[in-house]
Amino acid sequence: MEMTFFMIKPDGVQRGLVGRIIRRVEDKGLKIVAMKMRRLDQATAEEHYAEHREKPFFKDLVDFIISGPSVSMVVEGKDVISEIRRINGATNPTEALPGTIRGDFGLDTGRNMVHGSDSPASAEREIALHFDAVERIDYSRIDEAWLYE
Protein backbone atom coordinates (compact mmCIF):
# COMPACT_ATOMS: atom_id res chain seq x y z
CA MET A 1 0.00 0.00 0.00
CA GLU A 2 1.08 3.54 -0.73
CA MET A 3 1.45 6.23 1.96
CA THR A 4 1.12 10.00 1.72
CA PHE A 5 1.36 13.06 3.90
CA PHE A 6 -1.87 14.98 4.49
CA MET A 7 -2.32 18.18 6.48
CA ILE A 8 -5.30 20.19 7.61
CA LYS A 9 -3.90 23.71 7.62
CA PRO A 10 -4.56 26.39 10.26
CA ASP A 11 -7.63 27.74 8.44
CA GLY A 12 -9.28 24.30 8.48
CA VAL A 13 -8.54 23.96 12.19
CA GLN A 14 -9.74 27.48 13.01
CA ARG A 15 -12.97 26.95 11.08
CA GLY A 16 -13.74 23.77 13.01
CA LEU A 17 -13.57 21.50 9.97
CA VAL A 18 -11.08 18.91 11.24
CA GLY A 19 -13.67 16.21 11.91
CA ARG A 20 -15.50 16.77 8.64
CA ILE A 21 -12.25 16.64 6.66
CA ILE A 22 -11.01 13.49 8.40
CA ARG A 23 -14.39 11.89 7.79
CA ARG A 24 -13.94 12.36 4.02
CA VAL A 25 -10.61 10.55 4.17
CA GLU A 26 -12.02 7.68 6.20
CA ASP A 27 -15.27 7.50 4.21
CA LYS A 28 -13.16 6.89 1.10
CA GLY A 29 -11.68 3.82 2.82
CA LEU A 30 -8.24 5.31 3.36
CA LYS A 31 -6.41 4.47 6.58
CA ILE A 32 -4.82 7.03 8.90
CA VAL A 33 -1.62 5.47 10.29
CA ALA A 34 -0.28 8.57 12.10
CA MET A 35 -1.82 11.83 13.23
CA LYS A 36 -0.93 14.80 15.42
CA MET A 37 -1.97 18.36 16.04
CA ARG A 38 0.77 20.93 16.42
CA ARG A 39 1.87 24.41 15.57
CA LEU A 40 4.75 24.15 13.10
CA ASP A 41 7.95 25.99 13.89
CA GLN A 42 9.63 28.27 11.34
CA ALA A 43 12.37 25.78 10.37
CA THR A 44 9.94 22.91 9.76
CA ALA A 45 7.63 25.16 7.75
CA GLU A 46 10.51 26.41 5.59
CA GLU A 47 11.67 22.84 4.97
CA HIS A 48 8.10 21.74 4.19
CA TYR A 49 7.82 24.43 1.49
CA ALA A 50 11.49 24.19 0.37
CA GLU A 51 10.58 23.74 -3.30
CA HIS A 52 9.01 27.21 -3.23
CA ARG A 53 11.93 28.93 -1.48
CA GLU A 54 12.81 31.16 -4.45
CA LYS A 55 9.23 32.08 -5.31
CA PRO A 56 7.74 35.42 -4.25
CA PHE A 57 4.97 33.79 -2.19
CA PHE A 58 7.34 31.63 -0.06
CA LYS A 59 7.28 33.95 2.96
CA ASP A 60 3.47 34.14 2.88
CA LEU A 61 3.21 30.32 2.74
CA VAL A 62 5.50 29.93 5.74
CA ASP A 63 3.87 32.73 7.73
CA PHE A 64 0.44 31.23 7.18
CA ILE A 65 1.32 27.63 8.02
CA ILE A 66 2.89 28.68 11.34
CA SER A 67 0.05 31.09 12.21
CA GLY A 68 -1.93 28.48 14.15
CA PRO A 69 -2.27 24.78 14.84
CA SER A 70 -2.50 22.27 12.03
CA VAL A 71 -3.28 18.56 11.94
CA SER A 72 -0.74 16.34 10.18
CA MET A 73 -1.40 12.78 9.08
CA VAL A 74 0.13 9.85 7.28
CA VAL A 75 -2.58 8.20 5.21
CA GLU A 76 -2.31 4.77 3.61
CA GLY A 77 -4.22 3.10 0.80
CA LYS A 78 -4.20 2.03 -2.81
CA ASP A 79 -3.19 5.00 -5.00
CA VAL A 80 -3.53 7.19 -1.89
CA ILE A 81 -1.48 10.10 -3.27
CA SER A 82 -3.84 10.63 -6.20
CA GLU A 83 -6.91 9.84 -4.06
CA ILE A 84 -6.05 12.49 -1.46
CA ARG A 85 -5.36 15.04 -4.19
CA ARG A 86 -8.76 14.21 -5.73
CA ILE A 87 -10.49 14.55 -2.33
CA ASN A 88 -8.70 17.90 -1.77
CA GLY A 89 -9.70 19.39 -5.13
CA ALA A 90 -7.90 22.03 -7.17
CA THR A 91 -5.47 24.30 -5.30
CA ASN A 92 -7.59 27.32 -6.17
CA PRO A 93 -10.93 26.69 -4.44
CA THR A 94 -12.82 28.67 -7.11
CA GLU A 95 -11.68 26.00 -9.60
CA ALA A 96 -12.27 23.03 -7.28
CA LEU A 97 -15.24 20.81 -8.02
CA PRO A 98 -18.18 20.55 -5.62
CA GLY A 99 -17.74 17.49 -3.43
CA THR A 100 -14.06 18.20 -2.83
CA ILE A 101 -12.77 19.74 0.39
CA ARG A 102 -11.66 22.93 -1.32
CA GLY A 103 -14.72 23.06 -3.57
CA ASP A 104 -17.11 22.76 -0.64
CA PHE A 105 -15.31 24.84 2.00
CA GLY A 106 -12.76 27.10 0.29
CA LEU A 107 -12.92 30.56 -1.23
CA ASP A 108 -9.29 31.68 -1.60
CA THR A 109 -6.09 30.01 -2.84
CA GLY A 110 -4.16 31.29 0.18
CA ARG A 111 -6.71 29.72 2.53
CA ASN A 112 -7.35 26.36 0.90
CA MET A 113 -7.46 24.28 4.13
CA VAL A 114 -5.50 21.17 3.17
CA HIS A 115 -2.22 19.91 1.77
CA GLY A 116 -1.48 16.55 0.20
CA SER A 117 1.81 15.30 -1.21
CA ASP A 118 1.98 15.57 -4.99
CA SER A 119 4.26 12.58 -5.72
CA PRO A 120 5.82 9.53 -4.09
CA ALA A 121 9.09 11.46 -3.60
CA SER A 122 7.27 14.38 -1.95
CA ALA A 123 5.27 11.99 0.23
CA GLU A 124 8.42 10.28 1.46
CA ARG A 125 10.14 13.61 2.18
CA GLU A 126 7.12 15.17 3.91
CA ILE A 127 6.34 12.09 6.01
CA ALA A 128 9.97 11.98 7.19
CA LEU A 129 9.89 15.71 7.98
CA HIS A 130 6.72 15.54 10.07
CA PHE A 131 6.80 12.04 11.62
CA ASP A 132 9.34 9.68 13.13
CA ALA A 133 8.99 6.07 11.95
CA VAL A 134 7.81 4.99 15.43
CA GLU A 135 4.86 7.38 15.17
CA ARG A 136 3.35 5.40 12.29
CA ILE A 137 1.11 2.53 13.40
CA ASP A 138 0.95 -0.62 11.28
CA TYR A 139 -2.49 -2.19 11.67
CA SER A 140 -5.24 -3.77 9.62
CA ARG A 141 -8.70 -2.29 9.43
CA ILE A 142 -11.55 -4.75 9.60
CA ASP A 143 -13.02 -3.47 6.31
CA GLU A 144 -9.87 -3.86 4.18
CA ALA A 145 -11.07 -7.16 2.74
CA TRP A 146 -14.16 -5.32 1.48
CA LEU A 147 -12.17 -2.41 0.00
CA TYR A 148 -9.50 -4.16 -2.06
CA GLU A 149 -9.41 -7.18 -4.37
Q: How many domains does the chain have?
A: 1
Q: What is the pLDDT of residues 12-52, one digit of tens each?
A: 999 999 999 999 999 999 999 999 999 999 999 999 999 99
Q: 48, 52, 115, 130: which is the annotated catalytic residue?
A: 115
Total-model pTM: 0.95
Q: What is the pLDDT of residue 41?
A: 97
In a domain, 81, yes or no: yes
CA distance 111 to 22: 18
In a domain, 76, yes or no: yes
In a domain, 149, yes or no: no
CA distance 26 to 59: 33
Which residue numbers in the chain have pLDDT < 70? Answer: none
Q: Which residues span the domain enclosing 106?
A: 2-131
Q: Which is nearest to 32 in space by CA: 24, 40, 44?
A: 24
Q: What is the CATH number of the domain that holds 100?
A: 3.30.70.141
In a domain, 125, yes or no: yes
* Catalytic status, residue 115: yes
> What contacts 107, CB < 8 A, 6 or more positions away?
93, 94
